[in-house]
Amino acid sequence: MFLKINRTISSEQSELLIPLSAWDDILPQSSMPNTATGPFRNYLVLRPGTDAQLLEAKLADYAKKRFNDPNATLFIQKYADSYLYGQYENGSQSGGRIEYVRLFIAIAVFILLIACINFMNLSTAKASVRVKEVGVKKALGAGRATLVFQFLGESILMSFTTLLMALGVVWLALPYFNTITNKQLTLHFSGQFIAALTAIMLLTGLLAGSYPALYLSRFNPALTLKGKLLHGMSELWVRKGLVVFQFAVSVIFIISVVVVYKQIDYVQSKNPGYEKENIVYFEMEGRAATQTETFLARLKTLPGVVNASSIQQKIVLPAFLPSAGVRWDGKNGKDEIRFYKMPVNYGLTETLGIRMVAGRSFSKDFGSDTTAVILNETAIRQMGITDPIGKQIMIDGRKTHIVGMAQDFHFNSLHETIKPFIFRLSPKETMLATVKIQAGHVPATLAQIQDFYASFNPGYAFDYDFLDRDYQIQYASERLVAQLARYFAALAIWISCLGLFGLAAFTAERRRKEIGVRKVLGATTGSVVTMLSREFLVLVTIAIAVGCPLAWWLTQRWLDHFAYRTTIGAGIFVGAGLATIIITLATISFQSVRAALTNPTQSLKSE
């Protein structure tokens, strides 16, 4: 019986439910017990008080006995953790989507720190405006603690105001964010959410206002009432250090975005070992499933069809788990080699363009090919077989012989090394028709295939997909990270430039009289601009020197998730440094040129 799942109460979005006993009836006939090798997940409801670790240990022993395989293992996982913690290696949790969640949390924290640094720098730089206010309040008896609370209160109030503005921006940007991420996030003001926002607002206000509050409250009232403000070396070093931190983070962002895009371009352009362009596949049902050879033979005659064959399931990310049920002469009993096995039809390797390194592909000219297999290079290498063509191996208790060795190809993503793979000739077990279409004729040929399928198999829908789309889906997370990282990098650089723009303005104002004197003495506009820009360029250069090694280390850690990855050349770091310097010059040039062009008489008229 088929049951439709109620989507409103289930987090598993499936259209149909069937009993497990029907699995063997759905798959074409096979000599293998499909219910033992299918891609299944078992759901358990544990009794209250059950020790999950003890149960997992018992399941591990059970798997070894049940499957007669010393390497077999079973493990359990909390259902609530399956979405974020879905990556496993050798039965141990090794990551998943949670890694990207942590990555974006870290990015958000750094962007918030950059904003806080801007507030600190601009508040301390603007101290001369409030110095008399502090002196008057201290003269009237205000203690330092009172002033600290005042400035912290102002910072928290500003943090609260910006929180309201941020909520408005999020509300406006959320539809676009959902489009980018393919999510359906909404602003839901629950108690937990409000508490988290309040904590972030208070923490941000206290962090941003702490240094300015302590700095402004320590002034001597006698000096401040005279309009004198002494800038200590510690204050200058702190401010310069904060600027260096800001732009070091910006450099890291720039380099990281370039590396992510370079890696994505690498995985998309790297030859996977088979032809993925212009290849479509679709499930064979009804008459097409029972008369596969006739169906494929007529399919090949359609204009625009280059070749056609069939396979049990997708060649990209096969759903069936690898098995260790392979035996051969000379095998070490301790070997733990796991083989991916795929039943295929004649002509499958030719349709996919998989090159044979040795031997041949399956052929109807050889009657013995009904027990033939083709292994990839990795399988032959790990098995340690020399001159493999013609050698016999046992697969799940059945004797087969090797007729060909295929070139290695990436049936898993480039995150993983190529695993041992076995093509087994078994047309009856194939379920997906795989069709190579002539380049430039895809739409017209698909229309003809659809018409042919409707006439050959009336009553069944023609639902197809492209092989290259399956290949790209493997890297959907990386493309999303690249897109979001680009926006975050732009935001971080923009915030840093806003702070630098403000600091340049205050620096020019503080040195207004000095600039006037220099111009009276004959200084050119260019020399004044160079003088004002030099200090910031030195700080940015230090930031580049600090940020580049950190960016290299961070990107290397990210690339470690890929077994096959791009190289990081020196040009990326040089380009990021030049981009940062250009951005810095563009940011401070307006204030520098404006100060340099000011009439010196206006700067000196108060003297």
Nearest to 242 by CA among 217, 213, 208, 219: 208
Q: Output the CA–CA distances (angstroms, integers) from residue 162 to 110, 116, 156, 334, 491, in the order listed.
A: 17, 12, 10, 63, 16
pLDDT score for 6 = 41
Q: How many residues does the chain have?
A: 607
> What is the Cα–Cα distance from 573 to 168, expressed in whole angstroms?
37
Instruction: Give me the average pLDDT of each 10-residue run along the chain (607 residues).
Output: 41 72 63 51 82 81 72 75 70 69 85 84 68 71 80 88 90 87 82 89 86 71 55 64 86 90 88 93 91 94 95 85 80 79 94 95 90 94 91 89 95 90 92 94 94 92 92 85 85 84 72 69 72 82 93 91 88 91 83 68 56
Nearest to 427 by CA among 354, 352, 361, 342: 342
> What is the Cα–Cα distance from 299 to 308, expressed in whole angstroms?
7
pLDDT score for 598 = 66
Count of CB atoms within 10 A of residue 378's CB? Answer: 18
What does 548-564 look like in DSSP terms, one character per residue? HHHHHHHHHHHHTT-SS
> What is the Cα–Cα distance from 550 to 558, expressed in whole angstroms?
13
List b or e across 69-107, with b for residues whose CB sees 16 or more CB atoms inside 10 angstroms: eeeeebeeeeeeeeeebeeeeeeeeeebeebbeebeeeb
Q: Where are the alpha helices (DSSP H) in 126-232?
A: 127-139, 144-181, 191-216, 221-224
pLDDT score for 321 = 67
Host H or E run for residue 55:
helix 52-66
Pairing of strands 372-376, 92-95: unpaired
Backbone angles phi, psi at 89, to 5 degrees: -135, 120
Q: Vertex 94, ends 93 and 99: CA angle to 5°?
A: 120
- The whole-model pTM stands at 0.76
> What is the Cα–Cα distance from 74 to 347, expressed in whole angstroms?
37
Q: Where are the alpha helices (DSSP H) in 419-569?
A: 442-456, 467-473, 476-510, 512-520, 525-559
What does 190-211 look like in DSSP terms, one character per residue? -HHHHHHHHHHHHHHHHHHHHH
